[in-house]
Amino acid sequence: MTAILGIETSCDETAAAVVRDGREVIAHVVASQHDLHAKYRGVVPEIASRAHLERIGPVIEEALHNAGLGFDQIDAVAVGNRPGLIGSLIVGVSAAKAIAWAAGKPLIGVDHVQAHLHAASLYFATSGVGGSGVGRPPEPPPPPQFPALGLVVSGGHTALYRVDAPSQIHRLGATIDDAVGEAYDKAAVILQLPYPGGPHLDRLAAQGDPTAHRFPRSLLEPGSLDFSFSGLKTALLYAVRGHPQGRGDHARFEHSAAELTDRQRADLAASFQAAAVDMLILKIERALDLLFAGATPARSLIIGGGVSANSLLRARAVELGLRRRIDVHLPAMAFCLDNAAMIAGLAHESFLLQRFDDLHLPAVATTAF
């Protein structure tokens, strides 16, 4: 039985967790920075890294306290070392190195994107769990069967993967412009919704008519597994404000979002969300068809990342699973957003293989996948 301390600071969530045997979460602590970035309507890297510096120590201490463990009782220290904001990553990587060196424990670097695909395998322990117990299932969910099709959807990433094992993934397609989470956040700004925009747009969309506006679904060339959301975002902008008159600093729009009625705003949100999720589901179907036609048909579908919390995407994914007769694995809501449990959980695969990193482990802004 192994207990791994995980640390995550890739963007604006300072997180620490302790996970037993790769799946059982016995401590889960996340300190959000939403209040610090709200007035900027987006994450400011310098503010994020400074906040991590202030919060990293207390968050790790709280996670260990909630797990009832000391540094001498953990088996390894795992940290998300790529991808992300470089200043934020450095804080987490430095903390992990210091703990691993001082406690004499193995150090394991984990790819943040790959870890999102492991999040659906996590479950809360029946007792001794610190932090929120939101999303605690009555019993452990069955693990995904491999090979699987994986979809990571977040503010920085939208990509499809063939997943041969938890630590073996191959990218099939990715966004060529905006990530879907970024498109959601920009759509929320256009509609003048509070920050963070994605959850607010999701809730507003539930009150609207998804057929009120026919926004484009960019599928790119036939058979493509890549994504594009910039055209959808622009279509929403024009639907809200009209086409711009003039160019550059002299451009002026015909209307303002302030002129929208509550009903109009909800219909726009619902229509935007319907188009965004349609594109995700259509590309999932394409990828499943490709894998089924080849030598490695997918036995399950795994979805991870912040946008996996979206209500319409979750519902459509479950419907797809029933229709295609394939198991669908979605993270508990507590593990959709950036968290350290997914880091510690995936690190267990490396621990079993004795694949450790030394104190030269770098913080890297880009992903290897």
Average pLDDT across the chain, whole number:
93
Range 120-148 average pLDDT: 73
Mean pLDDT (whole number) for 328-334: 97
Tell me which of 3.40.50.300, 3.40.50.10140, 3.30.420.40, 3.30.420.10 is the CATH number of domain 148-331: 3.30.420.40
Question: What pLDDT, on the 0 to 100 scale, is given for residue 41?
Answer: 77
Q: How confident is the model at residue 138 (pLDDT cuts 50, 70, 90)?
A: low
pLDDT over 50 (residue 133): no
Residues 240 and 289: their CA atoms lie apart, in Å, by 37
Choose among 2, 3, 16: nearest CA to 338.
16
- Domain 3-137+334-352 is of which CATH architecture? 2-Layer Sandwich (3.30)
Give the domain ranges of the chain. Answer: 3-137+334-352, 148-331
Interval 206-243: pLDDT, tens: 999 999 999 999 999 999 999 999 999 999 999 999 88
pLDDT of 33 > 90? The answer is no
Closest by alpha carbon to 22, among 140, 107, 104, 127? 140
Q: Name which of 359, 358, 304 is nearest 333 in CA terms.
A: 304
Angular region, 120: left φ>0, alpha ψ -120 to 50, beta rest = alpha
Residue 31 pLDDT > 60: yes
Q: 80 or 247: which carries more pLDDT confidence?
A: 80
pLDDT at 136 over 90: no
Q: How many Cα atoms within 13 Å fall on the side-chain side of residue 305?
A: 23
341/304 Cα distance (integer angstroms): 13
Written as one letter, the residue type at 218 is S
Smallest Cα–Cα separation from 93: which of 368, 365, 369, 367? 365
Q: Is the pLDDT of residue 132 over 50?
A: no
pLDDT value at position 134? 46
Q: What is the pLDDT of residue 131?
A: 44
pLDDT given for residue 206 in this prediction: 97
What percentage of the chain reaches a pLDDT higher than 90? 82
- Whose CA is closest to 105, among 242, 4, 206? 4
More confident residue, 262 or 244: 262
Peptide bond into 83 cis (omega under 30): yes
Mean pLDDT of 8-24: 96
Q: Do the strands 327-329 and 123-124 form a parallel or antiparallel pair, or are they unpaired?
A: unpaired
How far does CA 339 lie from the centroid of its chain?
Answer: 9
Per-residue pLDDT, averaged over 164-183, amounts to 95
Instruction: Select the more confidently predicted residue: 250 or 189.
Output: 189
Question: Nearest to residue 147, comparing CAs of 173, 102, 117?
Answer: 117
Residue type, 187: A
- Beta-sheet pairing, 168-174 with 158-165: antiparallel
Query: Higher confidence at residue 235 or residue 43?
Result: 235
Rounded distance, CA 277 to CA 279, Å? 5
Judged by average pLDDT, the poorest of 1-10, 32-41, 192-201 is 32-41
Question: What tens digit of pLDDT does each residue of 283-324 get?
Answer: 999 999 999 998 889 999 999 999 999 999 999 999 999 999
pLDDT tens per residue, range 94-121: 999 999 999 999 999 999 999 999 999 9
Residue 130 has pLDDT above 50, yes or no: no
